[in-house]
Structure 1
Amino acid sequence: MTIRELRHDAEVRAACGDDDLLVWAAQGLRGGARAWALGGAVVAAGPGASRRDRLGVWGEPADAVELVRYALAELGSSYRPFGELELMRQVTAKLEVLRESGTFSWMSLPALDGPAAGPAVSGVGWLEPQAETEVAALLAAAAPESYAVPGLAGVRRWAGVRVGGELAAVAADAWSAPSVGLLAGVATRAALRGRGLADRVCRWASRELLAGYGRAALMVDDANVAAVTVYERIGYRRRRVLACRVAG
């Protein structure tokens, strides 16, 4: 079998069975993104996707090992392979150059049904560009580790809800692919937590992502139990993921 480069988003989707993690990593093959297939595996490289040069990995471990080796030789050591936990552990075990970097969860919402299709959410909307100063201040105080921040390349727009005129909770449409909208930058003002504001903003924004892209997804730290609970209540399905890096 020969490694073949995939030239169109439709090829990527067909090769990986339309897996949302891999399709997101491919970023529609825009902005320098590339993808390759071999046998039962596919890898997709998205430069700057969620602030990292990411290499999504999917499929049969033996073929994935060869694809990751090839892609890293083509792209360089800045790319971080990531994919489902057990797959990446097998890939890492076969490639001495890789080291495990960390685990987290990839969560996806495939369709406008189930909990996400419940009653309409009121009081939430896309914020005007002039509100980005408020968003930045809220994130700095409530979620300083957020990858998504106003003005960063790939961060398209912010949803928010106000309480007494004050911006209380936000979420972003950031680094979305043509058929996978990514939810990021979720934060709630500390004094207003426990009122279900994050649930409202995320539920509303998730519906918007579904309407605009067909699917919604997000990445979350496994230790953030409160966030995972909110996302699962909305209807997101969880997959454990392992990210790796090139040694040195």
Structure 2
Amino acid sequence: MELTSVEDVAAACQDDTIVMWAAQGMRDGIRAWAHGEAVAVASPDLNRRDRLTVRGPADQVAVLVRRALPELAPSYRVMAERDLAGELADLLPGSGPVRPFEWMETATPPAPHDAGDEETGWLLETDAEVSALLTEAAPSAWAVPGLPGIRRWAGVRSAEGRLVATAADAWSCPEVGFVAGVATAPALRGRGYGRRVCAFVFRSLIATHGRVALVVDTDNRAAIGVYERLGMRLRPVAALAVPV
């Protein structure tokens, strides 16, 4: 059964944060299906990838994947919690490889950081500064100024006015705020600047959307630790290539 409203998707996935983010408010180009207890959402160009996000019992999800992928572009990859992705790899011959990463989320705003000499807030007309910081601190960041879906950048400025940390409100939807492009100047890491900018963005997006999420590489233990201290819950996920 094809789903046509965000309310239908929410009911089918039990308001799961990952699936609701994939649904993006059912904007133009999004498609969704349900089968039994399974749900699948096809999202073009979401966080720089075409994604088929799935949830439910593996055998029922496999039915949806076999149905949906022939109707989508070859660039689509299945995104699922990691255990489910492993089961799907066994059920869908020729699939792989499973690429692991981490989804993190919270609906609880972190406590305000103690005030210091630094200034934290949303940035205005600072694409060049953000680009320079990302080039130095996070050259492989998926969020960079000018990409579709990136709404605004937050930052921490030192007492001298230098941009020392940044994070983006990117690919958010009405039901889920999303954070990307987190970076801190390498020479200033360990001073809490990344934690400060993330706490600010998390509070802002939770106030607007009710919950906030992000994805992070599995081997980035330092960042995962920061996000956990800010109250985020980790959910192991994976991307899976499935032949049509």
Is TM more than 0.5 here?
yes
SS in 2 for 1:98: coil
- Choose which of 128, 133, 141 in structure 1 pairs with 2:136: 141
Query: Residue by residue, what CA displacement relative to the aligned partner does 1:96-142 show, whole Å, maximum 9, x if unpaired?
Result: 24212410110001233xxx1x23565211100x2111001110111
Counterpart of 1:211? Answer: 207
- Choose which of 131, 141, 149 in structure 2 pairs with 1:154: 149
Counterpart of 1:124? Answer: 120
For residue 242 of structure 1, report the CA deviation from its aligned partner: 1.2
Counterpart of 1:230? Answer: 226
8 Å contact from structure 1 (residues 100, 242) kept in 2: no
Counterpart of 1:245? Answer: 241
- Choose which of 185, 188, 202 in structure 2 pairs with 1:189: 185
SS in 1 for 2:229: helix
- Looking at structure 1, the residues matched to 114 and 51 of structure 2 have their Cα atoms a distance apart, in angstroms, of 34
The question of 1:32 aligning with 2:29 is answered yes
For residue 246 of structure 1, report the CA deviation from its aligned partner: 3.5
- Alignment RMSD (CA, Å): 1.3
Query: Residue by residue, what CA displacement relative to the aligned partner does 1:183-209 show, whole Å, maximum 9, x if unpaired?
Result: 100000111111000000001100011
SS in 1 for 2:172: coil
The question of 1:94 aligning with 2:87 is answered no
- Looking at structure 2, the residues matched to 25 and 92 of structure 1 have their Cα atoms a distance apart, in angstroms, of 21
8 Å contact from structure 2 (residues 86, 98) kept in 1: no
SS in 2 for 1:152: coil
SS in 1 for 2:206: helix
Structure 2 unaligned segments of length 5 or more: list them: none
8 Å contact from structure 1 (residues 65, 91) kept in 2: yes
Counterpart of 1:176? Answer: 172
Q: Percent identity?
A: 50
Structure 1 unaligned segments of length 5 or more: list them: none
- Looking at structure 1, the residues matched to 243 and 188 of structure 2 have their Cα atoms a distance apart, in angstroms, of 43
**Count of residue pairs brought into register by the alignment:** 240
For residue 77 of structure 1, report the CA deviation from its aligned partner: 1.8
Moved over 6 A (4+): none
Counterpart of 1:11? Answer: 8
| TM-score normalised by length of structure 1 | 0.93
8 Å contact from structure 1 (residues 46, 55) kept in 2: yes
